[in-house]
């Protein structure tokens, strides 16, 4: 896929998301409300069979995780979609990111389909509600998106971040030291077990309930997640973020993360924490998934918008409303 596809329509996409979900200066266009937590990660021996990536060779390394609400309104209640953005801090000063959702799939499988979905949902007038009739017409004509929306509507809401499985909606190419390539999706699986609740019950709670619960939990004990690879088989769609793979695909645990305490952008030395999922390191490569490709441009536009970019101060400015 051409390199400039990473920036195709990025400004247009961010502007339309804000028109639909609201424009909240200083916040991300999506997953606007989030909090950072710190801990460590250590890969196990199985990881080296699949990748030569330096952070997956067995040494313990620092990580941060940004848990977040779905949506663009930082003041809204939690819903059934939450996010988990993990940053690994490499010994040479670089970082690499791993971005996941509590949902298994994205809502479009191409840039044009995503823009079409946004166009369908644009309010009839500034500040108005999303165009539900337009969305209904779009989904009728795009059954892959309709299936994802239906799946999300039927999914339970979290009771705790510590009891939520998170999923990479994108497939990546994992390359070993022997140059063997494996196509796989990633999952963070909570060691404490998976639990959920009806979304309506969560909306009855305080808007920060999942953060408060996690911080109370961390004050008592660490929270652990296993990093799991789901291995593709021949014929599985590897560049379609709206397509599930068949049940029963082999899963391999390749490491464990331990979260220990809250953190902040100030702690990391990075006032923006732009969790671009294409910030990778040797041994993990992107596929030709067009939604994965466009995310770099969208994340950069959103980061510059909320922080003032270079005009806001040191790289991408300051402030912690993220």
Q: Decide which of 309 and 173 is more confident.
A: 173
Question: Torsions phi, psi of 312, nearest 5?
Answer: -85, -5
Mean pLDDT of the chain: 93
**pLDDT of 170 over the 70 cut:** yes
pLDDT for position 4: 57
Local structure of 66: helix, strand or coil: strand
Confidence band of 91 (pLDDT split at 50, 70, 90): very high
Confidence band of 206 (pLDDT split at 50, 70, 90): very high
Confidence band of 311 (pLDDT split at 50, 70, 90): confident
Q: What domains sit in the chain, N to C, each tagged with a CATH number? A: 3-312 (2.40.180.10)
Confidence band of 313 (pLDDT split at 50, 70, 90): low
Give yes or no: 224 in active site.
Answer: no
Residues 241-291 pLDDT 10s: 999 999 999 999 999 999 999 999 888 888 888 999 999 999 999 999 999
pLDDT for position 317: 40
> Mutual orientation of helices 290-307 and 111-121 as an angle, nearest 10°?
50
**pLDDT of 319 over the 50 cut:** no
Question: Torsions phi, psi of 10, nearest 5?
Answer: -60, -45
Q: Residues of the chain with pLDDT > 90: what percent?
A: 88
Residue 257 pairs in a beta bridge with: 41, 225
What does the DSSP 8-state code read for residue 23? Answer: -
Q: Decide which of 184 and 3 is more confident.
A: 184
Residues 104-135 pLDDT 10s: 999 999 999 999 999 999 999 988 999 999 99
Query: Which helix (H) or strand (E) is 38 found in, with range?
Result: strand 34-43
How many Å apart are CA 315 and CA 322, to the nearest integer?
Answer: 16
Q: Decide which of 311 and 189 is more confident.
A: 189
pLDDT for position 314: 47
pLDDT for position 320: 44
pLDDT for position 307: 87
For the segment 226-239, the average pLDDT, to the nearest whole number, is 97
Q: Pairing mode, if any, of strands 284-286 and 196-197?
A: unpaired
Of 106-110, 143-147, 313-317, which gets the smallest average pLDDT? 313-317
Q: Pairing mode, if any, of strands 181-190 and 223-231?
A: antiparallel
The CA angle 135-296-86, to the nearest 5 degrees, is: 95
Confidence band of 312 (pLDDT split at 50, 70, 90): confident
Confidence band of 316 (pLDDT split at 50, 70, 90): very low
Mean pLDDT is highest, among 167-181, 261-275, 288-302, for: 167-181
Residue 35 pairs in a beta bridge with: 67
Residue 27 marked as a ligand binder: no
Q: Is the distance from CB of 99 to CB of 82 less than 8 angstroms?
A: no
The pTM is what? 0.93
For the segment 287-316, the average pLDDT, to the nearest whole number, is 84
Q: What is the DSSP string of 83-108?
A: EEEEEEE-TTS-EEEEEEESSSS-S-
């Amino acid at each position: 896929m051409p390199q400039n596809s990473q920036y195709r329509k990025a400004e247009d996409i961010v502007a339309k998301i804000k028109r639909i979900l609201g424009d909240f200066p200083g916040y991300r266009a999506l997953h606007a409300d989030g909090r950072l937590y710190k801990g460590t990660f250590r890969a196990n021996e199985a990881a080296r069979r699949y990748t030569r990536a330096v952070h997956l060779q067995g040494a313990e390394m620092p990580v941060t995780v940004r848990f977040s609400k779905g949506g663009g309104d930082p003041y809204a209640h939690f819903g059934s979609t939450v996010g988990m953005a993990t940053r690994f801090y490499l010994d040479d000063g670089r970082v690499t990111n791993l971005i996941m959702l509590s949902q298994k799939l994205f809502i479009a499988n191409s840039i044009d389909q995503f823009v079409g979905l946004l166009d369908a949902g644009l309010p009839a007038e500034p500040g108005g509600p999303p165009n539900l009739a337009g969305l209904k017409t779009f989904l009728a004509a795009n059954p892959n998106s309709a299936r994802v929306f239906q799946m999300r509507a039927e999914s339970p809401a979290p009771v705790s971040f510590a009891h939520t499985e998170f999923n990479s909606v994108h497939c990546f190419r994992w390359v070993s030291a022997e140059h063997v390539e494996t196509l796989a999706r990633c999952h963070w699986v909570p060691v404490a077990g998976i639990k959920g609740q009806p979304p309506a019950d969560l909306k009855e709670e305080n808007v920060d309930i999942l953060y408060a619960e996690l911080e109370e939990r961390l004050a008592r004990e660490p929270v652990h997640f296993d990093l799991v690879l789901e291995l593709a088989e021949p014929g599985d769609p590897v560049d379609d973020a709206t397509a599930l793979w068949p049940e029963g695909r082999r899963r391999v645990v390749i490491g464990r993360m331990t979260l220990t305490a809250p953190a902040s952008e100030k702690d990391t030395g990075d006032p923006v924490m732009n969790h671009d999922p294409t910030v990778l390191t040797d041994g993990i490569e992107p596929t030709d998934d067009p939604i994965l490709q466009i995310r770099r441009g969208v994340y950069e536009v959103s980061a510059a918008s909320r922080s003032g970019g270079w005009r806001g101060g040191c790289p991408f400015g300051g402030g912690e409303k993220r």
